[in-house]
Amino acid sequence: MGALTNPRREVLRLLVTRNMMSRLPADQQQRATETGPAELDRHLPQGAVHQGVAAEVCPLPDVALEDLIAAEVNRIVVLDQLTDPHNLGAIFRSASAFGFSAIVLQTRNTPPITGVVAKSAAGAIETVAECRVVNISRALDQLNAAGFHSVGLDGQGRSDITAALRGATRLAVVLGAEGGGLRPGVARACAELARIPIASAMESLNVSNAAAIAFYEAQRVAAGSAI
């Protein structure tokens, strides 16, 4: 439903079942087309869960990295070639929950924002800006030059995550792909590599879980500094 209330999102078509029509605000009802559940299913990928509402929308306008820097965004996520759309959506959701305003992704080797991503994000793709860049390492160079402290998550990082995040006025948290982690060139472009302490019985965390921990810790450390 977040797409329907986002003024930057152009909605081309809105299909709604009778049961859901009465739950929509009046302005949304005026542009909605009532349909049956079976007809709605035919417009969606097999197995999609729609809860009686489906919208065909245009992609949001492109956001350039330079625009984010100029807009004085202070919390950014940088993702290095994630491949799982569920993880991508979960990271959008956690970013929104903990005050990260934008996610930087590579133009290739990263999933587009599909219905699967949107469902996992639970509306966060409408509140967290998506910025696509050709080269992640160069993007980090730009962020570093603009005053961001870029912290790459790495199980072998020398710094503890709390120490790495403390004192950063502008922060970029960098996460690598499932399994492979950060590529060497991206790791070198980070100002610091940090680890999340976990029990020795577990080798690593799922990337979306690691992201949520890092985002929460960034918010906690920032709140402590403000006291």
Confidence (pLDDT) at 56: 77
Query: Which residues does the chain have with pLDDT short of 70?
Result: 1-4, 46-49, 225-227
Domain residue ranges in the chain: 2-57, 65-226
CA distances from 172 to 39, 65, 129, 150 (A): 44, 12, 14, 5
Confidence (pLDDT) at 99: 95
> Residues 118-154: pLDDT tens digits?
888 888 988 899 999 999 999 999 999 999 999 999 9
Confidence (pLDDT) at 48: 67
The model's pTM is 0.83
Average pLDDT, the chain: 88
Confidence (pLDDT) at 227: 45
CATH class of 65-226: alpha beta
110 contacts 138 by C-beta, under 8 angstroms: no
